[in-house]
Amino acid sequence: MSDSEQLSSRIHVNPQPSGKIGKSERTRAAILNAAVDFLWTHPFRDMTVNSLMASTGVGRSAFYQYFKDLHELMEILLDTVKGEIMAVTGPWFTGVGDPVVLLRESLDGLVEVCYQQGPILRATTDAATTDERLEKAWAQFIKRFNDGVTTRIEADQAQGLIPDFDARPVAIALNLMDAYTLIEAFGRRPRSKPEQVREALVRIWISTLYGSEWLGNESSNLVRT
């Protein structure tokens, strides 16, 4: 299966058998998947409604039955990625037990999602420079992560698991590093090897928050309750 096929299969998952999916829903999914395929090989600035619809076999006017413009389409794709990222990073944010193990699990999931969805993230940041609505959606997503990481750091600090420091600037720095690194690594072909990116992020996050002594270990003697 090609990279674009792998990514497309993650965009239009529907629990119903294909025969029960209405024509309207199939058309909308076809347009979204055509956009994903386009972004694997082209920057967002080259996308037009004509170029997008030419690969779907559906008339140009059908696009506007489902999307106001290309920026709205990108916002919908971003929502899909946001949902996946929030799901896979849940262990560190909400889990109990060894925080180093939980952090590794969350970073593994984050790298996997971004390896598959990197072109959407790159296109979103590119499109946000020319669309206020998309810029706001991206900023809100990053803020949500900044808030979540800040809260998690402060909670672990209260349990004596993380040294005492101002949590929010560190959270912001870690998240901005993640965003830039993941988009740069996976936003275009050839993509970087996910194992190398994962190891870099794990090294920085663990050493920054819990201490470099745990870098060589899969687990630690720390316990979050």
Instruction: Answer yes or no: do 83 and 166 share one domain.
Output: yes
> What is the reported pLDDT for 24?
83
> What domain count does the chain have?
2
Instruction: Answer yes or no: do 96 and 46 share one domain.
Output: no
Q: What is the pLDDT along the chain (225 residues), one digit of tens a residue?
A: 344 434 434 454 333 444 555 778 889 999 999 999 999 889 999 999 999 999 898 899 999 999 999 999 999 999 999 999 999 999 999 999 999 999 999 999 999 999 999 999 999 999 999 899 899 999 999 999 999 999 999 999 999 999 999 999 999 999 999 999 999 999 988 999 999 999 999 999 999 999 999 998 999 999 999
221 within a domain of the structure (yes/no):
no
160 is in which domain, residue-wise? 70-214
Instruction: Answer yes or no: do 114 and 176 share one domain.
Output: yes
Instruction: Answer yes or no: do 105 and 177 share one domain.
Output: yes
Q: Are 136 and 56 in contact (CB under 8 A)?
A: no
Instruction: Answer yes or no: do 185 and 74 share one domain.
Output: yes
Indicate which CATH number applies to the domain containing 138: 1.10.357.10
> What is the reported pLDDT for 160?
98
| Exposure of 214 in the CB half-sphere (CA atoms within 13 A) | 23
Task: Please give, one letter per residue, the 3-state secondary structure of 127-167.
Answer: HCCCCHHHHHHHHHHHHHHHHHHHHHHHHHHHCCCCCCCCH
Instruction: Answer yes or no: do 110 and 203 share one domain.
Output: yes
224 within a domain of the structure (yes/no):
no
CA dist., res. 174 & res. 184, Å (int): 15
Q: Is-above-0.75 flag for pTM? A: yes
Residues 6+ apart with CB under 8 A from 149: 167, 171, 174, 175
156 within a domain of the structure (yes/no):
yes
Determine the Cα angle at 31 with ends 30 and 35, to 5°.
115
Instruction: Answer yes or no: do 61 and 116 share one domain.
Output: no
Give which of 147, 161, 163 is closest to 103, Cα–Cα: 161
Specify whether the backbone of 211 is left (phi greater than 0), alpha (psi in -120 to 50) or beta.
left
Residues 6+ apart with CB under 8 A from 33: 8, 11, 12
Q: Are 110 and 87 in contact (CB under 8 A)?
A: no
CA dist., res. 109 & res. 206, Å (int): 16
